[in-house]
Amino acid sequence: QHGADFASARTKEKDFYKNERKLVIKALTKLQVKCKHIGGMTKEFETKQNLKFFYVGIGERTARRYADKIEYELELDPQAAISYLQLMDEPLAKATVSDEENSKQCLEKHWKNVYIKYDKDVAPEIYKPYDVLDEGDQKEGFEDSLFRIRDRLALINEIVTQDVELGGCGIFVPMLQTKDHCIVDFYPLHTLEHLQDILDKLFSWKSLTYKLLSLPLEEIRTYFGEYIGIYFAYLEFMTIYFLPISIIGFIIQCMQWGEDYILVDGIEYFALFVIVWSIAFPILWKRKEYAWALKWGTLRCETSERPRPEFMGEYRRSNVDGGVEEYFPHALRNTRRLVTFTVVATFLIALFGSVVAVVVLRVYVAETGIDYGTYFISIANALVIMFFNNIYGIFAEKLNEWENYKTETEYENNLIIKIFIFRFINSYATLYYIAFFRRYESDENLACTAEDCMEDLAAQLSTIFITQLTVSNAIELGGLAVARMFKGVVSSYFTDDIKELVWNQYSSEVYERTFDDYCEILVSFGYATLFVISFPLAPLAAFVGCIVEARIDGYKLCKLTRRPFPRQANNVGTWQLAMEVMGWTVLVTNLCIICFSAEDLDIPLGVSDSYFEETLTALILFAILFILVNILSWWVAKRPFKIITHLDRMIHLESSVKSIGQSIDRYLDSLSNDELENWRQWNAQQVAYFLREVCYKNPEEYRTLESAIRHARFSGKYFDEADEHSLEKKLGITDHLHKRFVLNARRNLENQIEQVKKQSAFLDIDKSERYGSMDASGDERQEFQFTNDNLIQMAEFFEEDLTGQSKRKLWTKVDKDMSSLIEDNEMDTFLYFSIVVFIKAKYSNVRLPKKSDKKFQSKILAPLKRWLLHYKVSAHGLTFDEFDRFFPSWLREYYREHKAAEQGGITKYDTIRMEEASSPSVLDDEDAHLQAKLARNKKNKKLGALLGSGGMFGSSSNKDSNRSGSSSSRSNRSSSRPPSEETMRADIEAGLPLVGIKKGDEYERKIKDDIEREHWSQESLEWEQKLSPVADAIEKTDITTREKIWDKFDRKKVEKLDCDKSLSRLIYSLIALYIKTQDRNARPPKFNSLTPLLQSICNEIKQEINNKYNTPNNNYITKKDFKENIVTYLKKIARRRRQSSASGLSKSVSITEMMKQQKR
């Protein structure tokens, strides 16, 4: 967008990045995001690293505005919320403070952990307050903040990375990192005091002894967010849950060691206990999960989850609520899933080959009798497993990204399915072979008895499990530490030197998600339970592994990686399903082992066929366990009634707060300008009525307040001067919360007045804003080029920012006849003023477009007016209610349909189809007018008389021969005196035909006939001589750069462009590229001034293509042809233009000689 895609050597220069950085900061500042260069990063250090570091942050006001926009959920403060809502006559709050018998079940404790969407119109005191950390917020009068640090980090990330159509800046850093862009990275800094608190609770003597099994979950959740907090909660739960089975497993292992025999008596009951334990784990965790979601306020986080910045879709209106949404076709995603399935199948085939290779190696070891060969094979198998896991993981992530999922939850859930299936087969395939199939091998070197197979299984399982526990953790920590050392970072985050603090965190690795950590503990769970009778110490190893894993992950997050942006999560996602599948797999596997492989468990049924008896035993046990598990799941795992009630309560309170906020907003909008401007002259009754509408709707409370206001004659003047002390003294308000509610009502009134004044100024347009080139301070004012792309921002402005008074004022400014309707003859004026209000509100120091501007009329006002009158506005005219309710959605729909038609898509509106069909090219009206004028001049041009009998030059006057400059020269041709040398030279330079001079060859004559330069702009004539260096500059670019340039114009990926339409814009971008490579601060000439030159180049390129491929009627250039031949085409055109120019110059030089001949 800013030229960063062009792969030129000059794009590496400092000035280029400096200018681009200004554009980025300007985009952030427009959304009130603060950017400040970090002074502690010295100039020498930044020069050495070739980087500049900036703080990026938001204030309390910006945070509240954006939280209201995206409906960010905040926790209610129980006491303040009850107090405010009972004043606003909300029934639950009134019942909570009531002493009546039928309200005793409505308690204040029910208001804890209530999270609702933030609403800017209600009293902010109802939300839980936090300490203000920014001095700027304190200067603006904010005593408390509604946001924790993690909330602000989430909001900053949302503002910066979210698409422009959804209200963000559209600066998605991971995508920019793959390009030559000034932004290198974007990350949150650690808060050292909070980080140290987490580390102390993870590694203190207390936490490593009697509090070994507990983790600082509340601190982790507050600092890193619920997404990471729920992972550590899951890890803590699993650690505690492993304790009983670890103790029993240790006892069984001692029995096996004592008897030197694996299939000891009672082993089958231990297997049954493990089965019940494994199946119950996901059920009990689900219950615990609900408790955490309730406490952390994430019960509804999936319904309010925002789209991923990586998600690529088209914007459309939702068929659920009518809002703007980003959409990607499910059919296309399913097609991509088929490709993914093919890749997964290929990897599974390769995995099967590795299992066969291990079996072959085992045969070789058995035949040769290598000492400790079994253990070597086990270690090799463990390394192969980790290799396949890592390689497949990379492919799975790429394919999952390609499938283009909208939210992080959808993305992770589908990635889990891909990874879990493969890792399960990869991790346990060899163990299943030993447990079930090796006994039946025909090769005597492989066949074994039940005991021997169990011994081999124990050796294999213990080796693989312990190897993976140690190696994976070593790689995890070692890889991060080595990466930091390679970047020259050896010190800790905990330093007072800001330069070291920022640089150390920048040099650390990014912690993207908990996916690998979940995978690791799930695989350990399988090793600990699937084949537990062969190695009963496996649960103990998994127990120790969970303790170590919790400390390693905590250390990694706090000291080796950057701080991740906080995310919400109400559960572990598809890992819950994976754990349930693992539980049922444990059931089937252990039943089969004890019934078939070990043959230790069978129900005596009096059947002679032992195999049938074993099978029947397994089926009976499976049926019993299946029934018990479903009963347990129905009883325990379903959503508790407490959670359902709390969720309903949250929905009710959110709806009530939203309704209250809407009523306050409507009331403030209903106040006239006179009432707002003269609010300090309000009488006591007006003040009382205002407070009733804003914060005292409870009749009992309001009667008391009204009586006190009347008695104290509390007018607008006293209301303006009121503070908490005067409210208590004059009105008898003793509750400190009620005082704050009243003062907040006054603050809302002042904000409304300020907003109305600001927006009223948008409708006061002086002539300097439309015609002046300088603003009041003397700075240059550029004319604002309003395009259809601005309609999305305009719709958002009318929907979110413009007040009711401003809308009414705009309406009355246009509705001069007071008919309460915008009729046909007023529609263009209405649209013009609507656009003007938007431009003045969003853009400063710009010159407004003129309503009389033909280009602005034909491209913006006329098509939009025609579309609205034809499809949206009723026959009698546009009403104010329609304007207030539907105008933003109409603008979005028009933009979407117009964009689709512009790109060759399908639109259901005839006016848009006719508009696009009537446009012969992508040129604007001025360009079309210029081309039409050139055609007329060419048609009406009269040839001069040939050399007459008197030996004089003859000529004929042109239609435009009375113009200054060359008019006198041409008129003199009809006289008896021959033209002067200066006159003839001027005519040649202007491209006029020199009558009486013999032309060159036929090709030159053709060029002279086709290219009429007499009406070319000076820029076109000048740049015609520079085509050769332009071609040389493009030749230096690589194929990838040309593809990027092409893709900016071929939005629909049709792989071809119309030579009469889009190609001229493409050639113009190449000229702009050449200019920027020569001087980054230079500005390319306007497109209109180069239109004649660009059209002539496009015509010659079309001729070259048709001659080359023998396609006389072809009007397109393909992407392949552009990448491979555009330089050749431009060079040929440049060479012909030089030859034509040289020919003209030679004629000009020979004029003197010709004049001598004429005189003779």
Q: Between vectors from CA 990 to CA 989 and to CA 996, what angle results, nearest 5°?
A: 80
CA distance 891 to 830: 14
Measure Cα distances from 76 to 118, 647, 903 in Å.
10, 14, 48
DSSP-assigned beta bridge partners for residue 75: 115
Binning pLDDT at 50, 70 and 90, where does residue 805 land? confident
Inter-residue contact 56 to 186 (CB < 8 Å): yes
Binning pLDDT at 50, 70 and 90, where does residue 1154 land? very low
DSSP-assigned beta bridge partners for residue 325: 316
Q: Give the chain's count of helices (H) and strands (E).
A: 47, 12
Inter-residue contact 522 to 579 (CB < 8 Å): yes
Binning pLDDT at 50, 70 and 90, where does residue 1121 land? confident
Determine the average pLDDT of the residues in 561-590: 89
Work out the number of other CB atoms within 10 angstroms of the CB of residue 1083: 9
Work out the number of other CB atoms within 10 angstroms of the CB of residue 750: 13
Binning pLDDT at 50, 70 and 90, where does residue 435 land? confident
pLDDT of residue 180: 72
pLDDT of residue 972: 37
Q: What is the pLDDT of residues 728-753, one digit of tens each?
A: 989 999 999 999 999 999 998 988 88
pLDDT of residue 973: 35
pLDDT of residue 605: 58
Q: Is the pLDDT of residue 948 over 50?
A: no
pLDDT of residue 55: 92
- Residue of 326, 321, 286, 331 lying closest to 309 (CA atoms): 326
b or e along 1021-1048 (b: 16 or more beta carbons within 10 Å of the residue's beta carbon)?
Answer: eebbeebeebbebbeebeeebbeebbee
pLDDT of residue 1107: 83
Separation of CA 69 from chain center: 16
* 554, containing H or E segment: helix 538-555
Measure Cα distances from 954 to 466, 711, 964, 994, 1087 in Å.
104, 103, 21, 10, 38
Q: Is the pLDDT of residue 934 over 90?
A: no
For residue 874, give the 3-state DSSP assignment: strand
Q: What is the pLDDT of residues 510-539, one digit of tens each?
A: 888 888 888 888 889 999 999 898 899 999
Determine the average pLDDT of the residues in 665-671: 86
Residue 989, judged by CB atoms within 10 A of its CB (0-12, 13-18, 19+), counts as middle
Both tokens assigned to 325 = 């949404």
Q: Which amino acid is at 1061?
A: K
Q: Is the pLDDT of residue 956 over 60?
A: no
Please state, rounded to an integer, the average pLDDT across all residues of the chain.
78
pLDDT of residue 715: 92
Helix axes 724-731 and 736-760, enclosed angle (nearest 10): 110
Q: How far apart are the first and last CA of the chain?
A: 64
For residue 231, give the 3-state DSSP assignment: helix
Binning pLDDT at 50, 70 and 90, where does residue 958 land? very low
Which single residue is written with the structure tokens 């020979």? 1150
Determine the average pLDDT of the residues in 847-875: 83
DSSP 8-state class, residue 255 = H
What values do phi and psi take at 35, rounded to 5? Answer: -125, 130
Neighbouring residues of 766: CB distance < 8 A, sequence distance ≥ 6: none
Q: Is the pLDDT of residue 669 over 50?
A: yes
CA distance 765 to 755: 18
Q: What is the pLDDT of residues 371-386, one digit of tens each?
A: 666 667 777 777 777 7
Q: What is the rounded radius of gyration, in angstroms, for the C-alpha atoms of the chain?
A: 39
Lowest mean pLDDT among 270-284, 361-375, 682-696, 1094-1108: 361-375
Q: What is the pLDDT of residues 984-1014, one digit of tens each?
A: 443 443 344 444 333 334 444 444 445 667 7
Q: What is the pLDDT of residues 1021-1072, one digit of tens each?
A: 888 888 888 888 888 777 777 887 887 777 667 788 888 777 888 888 888 8
Both tokens assigned to 150 = 């993690």
* 75, containing H or E segment: strand 73-75
Q: Between vectors from CA 304 to CA 303 and to CA 309, what angle results, nearest 5°?
A: 115
Pure H helices in 868-995: 880-902, 910-917, 925-940, 967-971, 981-989
CA distance 148 to 151: 5
DSSP string for residues in 1062-1107:
HHHHHHHHHHHHHHHHH-TT--PPPTGGGHHHHHHHHHHHHHHHHH
Both tokens assigned to 168 = 């963000």
Determine the average pLDDT of the residues in 558-584: 88
Residue 936, judged by CB atoms within 10 A of its CB (0-12, 13-18, 19+), counts as exposed
DSSP-assigned beta bridge partners for residue 317: 324
CA distance 955 to 973: 5
DSSP string for residues in 826-853:
HHHHHHHHHHHHHHHHH--SEEPPPTT-
pLDDT of residue 942: 37
Inter-residue contact 172 to 309 (CB < 8 Å): yes
Which single residue is written with the structure tokens 């995890």? 476
Predicted TM-score (pTM) of the model is 0.68
Residue 213, judged by CB atoms within 10 A of its CB (0-12, 13-18, 19+), counts as middle
DSSP 8-state class, residue 324 = E
| C-alpha dihedral sign at 750, 752, 754, 757 | negative
Q: What is the pLDDT of residues 77-106, one digit of tens each?
A: 999 999 999 999 999 999 999 888 888 888
Both tokens assigned to 703 = 């009667």
CA distance 966 to 960: 10
DSSP-assigned beta bridge partners for residue 198: none
Q: Which amino acid is at 1069?
A: S
Q: Is the pLDDT of residue 936 over 50?
A: no
3-state SS of 22-39?
Answer: HHHHHHHHHCCCEEEECC
pLDDT of residue 909: 60
Inter-residue contact 375 to 463 (CB < 8 Å): yes
* pLDDT more than 70, % of the chain: 79
Q: What is the pLDDT of residues 1037-1049, one digit of tens each?
A: 777 778 878 877 7
Q: Is the pLDDT of residue 1144 over 90?
A: no
* 385, containing H or E segment: helix 373-402
User: Would strands 782-783 and 846-847 be described as parallel, antiparallel, or unpaired?
Assistant: parallel
Lowest mean pLDDT among 16-30, 502-516, 902-916: 902-916
Lowest mean pLDDT among 391-395, 588-592, 655-659: 391-395
pLDDT of residue 400: 82
DSSP-assigned beta bridge partners for residue 34: 57
- 177 φψ region: left (φ > 0), alpha (ψ -120 to 50), beta (else): alpha
pLDDT of residue 801: 78
Binning pLDDT at 50, 70 and 90, where does residue 638 land? confident
Q: What is the pLDDT of residues 320-333, one digit of tens each?
A: 666 666 777 778 88
b or e along 378-412 (b: 16 or more beta carbons within 10 Å of the residue's beta carbon)?
Answer: bbebbebbbebbeebbebbbebbeebbbbebbbbb
Determine the average pLDDT of the residues in 46-70: 90
CA distance 899 to 315: 11
CA distance 339 to 402: 10
pLDDT of residue 50: 87
* 716-723: long-range pairs with CB below 8 Å, 24+: 716/678, 716/679, 716/680, 716/681, 716/682, 716/683, 716/686, 716/687, 717/680, 717/681, 719/679, 719/680, 719/682, 719/687, 719/746, 720/679, 720/680, 720/746, 722/746
What values do phi and psi take at 1007, rounded to 5? Answer: -60, -45
